[in-house]
Amino acid sequence: MSLSAFSVELLTPPGAGGVAVLCVRGAGAIARLRGLSRAGIPGPGEVRLAILREPGSAPDEPPLDEALLVGRSQWVEVHTHGSPSIVSAVVDLLTDPPRGAESTGGAGSTGDAGSPGDAGSTGGIGTVTTPADVGERPSLEERAERAAATTPSATGARVLLDQAGGALRQELAQLVDAEPGERKRRLAALASEGGRCARLWAPAVVAIIGPVNAGKSTLFNALLGEEQATVTARPGTTRDALGAPAELGGWPVILVDTAGERDLAGRVAQGDPGASVEAEGQRLARGVASRADLVLELSPAGSERWAAGPWSGDPPSGDPPSGDPVRRGPASRRLHLWSRAAEQAGPSPAGWGSLGISALEDPAHARESIGDLFIEHLGLGGRPSWVAGRPVPFEPELVQRLCDLATAETADGSALASLLASL
């Protein structure tokens, strides 16, 4: 199979959801992505916010989508909004000539996105799977097996392999004949578990923002467990958004370090080129934060509390409507933390308060407390676990349908039976 012809893959299970993650690899697809975003392609470990526009569209035409591009060593992840029509349109534009057509394509430079040519060594990657393929859709078990091959966490892969082995189908078949009250209760439990586990295969994006020198890059390195971001005592060190896969509270996440905030208006007005670059980094940081699932807002302990002003991605206040197990929408949660707490309150975490951290003095404490806060703020209920054979719906659309069946006033076994037959 020619990878230049098959170079876009939907990593998240097909169906409507808050976010859909596409894996784009191969010189041709990456060149097309560059054309859609009209911005650079992020290098490995970099994150960029891109407005995706159809080639040839006028600047005042509404864009296709706003997406986060995450550079990997051999491909680029594109985090789009999860509506099937957006995903399908983006995939079509990235896979011109049309999906499924075998071609020797591959024109275009690979730029700084790694070497897509190397992707040939990674067997199995490169199948185009989108909601538009529903007509000839593989079975539930086949879809689970496919999703397991690319899921970013070992626990997620185990859960998906259980569904590939029939765990979910078996549970649904049992529920068709269950007593109505019991059926409703177990359908609600399934939907709730599906909503929670979605974070295993579509990791949350967690952005670290705050004023310059708040210790954002120090915290980023502490959460990663390795030094990837430059740290200096000079304010304005970080000027780009730097993303990396990490784990918080046992859940896979994409962590993003950003440029710090400070007032640059005077220096920009005087034509200081360094200030203009930094201001661009700040703009990028706000864009990343507006698309993140959780924003960690840092203020150095002892300073005034810093808070980002309203940004375009601010959701309406409050939680998603109850009964909606699939969390949708950008930047739904912010968490304020006091950083560099040891400088203010001494070396023992006991004196730092529940939201105090000192990533330099006690990185393990920062990892643990932010892991707990992540679980709490995303409503995940605890660390992810694997229980052999446990049924879990893994596609947002299916989770929603099970939720609808569970809340329907007359939970009808025949509705579930026909849903089961369509899987």
Ligand X SMILES: Nc1nc2c(ncn2[C@@H]2O[C@H](COP(=O)(O)OP(=O)(O)OP(=O)(O)O)[C@@H](O)[C@H]2O)c(=O)[nH]1
Phi, psi values for residue 48, rounded to 5°:
-140, 140
215 binds, among ligand X, Mg ion, none (CB under 5 to 8 A by kind): ligand X
149 binds, among ligand X, Mg ion, none (CB under 5 to 8 A by kind): none
Least distance (Å) from ligand X to the CB of residue 30? 29
Question: In one letter, which amino acid is 23?
Answer: C
Least distance (Å) from ligand X to the CB of residue 356? 10
Q: Which residues bind Mg ion (CB under 5 A)?
A: 216-217, 237-238
**In the complex with ligand X, which residue's Cβ is closer, 126 or 281?**
281
**In the complex with ligand X, which residue's Cβ is closer, 196 or 365?**
365
How many Å is the Cα radius of gyration of the chain?
22
Find where tokens 């609808």 sit: 404
Residue 188, token pair as written in the block = 């609600």
Least distance (Å) from ligand X to the CB of residue 362? 8
Q: How many residues does the chain have?
A: 423
The DSSP 8-state label assigned to residue 70 in this structure reads: E
Phi, psi values for residue 211, rounded to 5°:
-70, 165
Partner residues linked to 299 by β-bridges: 338
417 binds, among ligand X, Mg ion, none (CB under 5 to 8 A by kind): none
**In the complex with ligand X, which residue's Cβ is closer, 160 or 370?**
370
Q: Which residues bind ligand X (CB under 6 A)?
A: 212-218, 231-233, 235-238, 260, 339-340, 342-343, 358-361
358 binds, among ligand X, Mg ion, none (CB under 5 to 8 A by kind): ligand X
297 touches 209 (CB < 8 A): yes
233 binds, among Mg ion, ligand X, none (CB under 5 to 8 A by kind): ligand X
**In the complex with ligand X, which residue's Cβ is closer, 193 or 362?**
362
Helix (H) or strand (E) holding 91: helix 84-94
Least distance (Å) from Mg ion to the CB of residue 54? 35
Picking from 142, 143, 243, 247, the residue whose alpha carbon sits closest to that of residue 200 is: 247
53 binds, among Mg ion, ligand X, none (CB under 5 to 8 A by kind): none
Rounded distance between C-alpha atoms, residue 204 and residue 184, angstroms: 29
Least distance (Å) from ligand X to the CB of residue 228? 12
Least distance (Å) from ligand X to the CB of residue 222? 8
Between the CA of residue 263 and those of 107, 211, 266, 305, what are the distances in Å? 43, 10, 8, 16
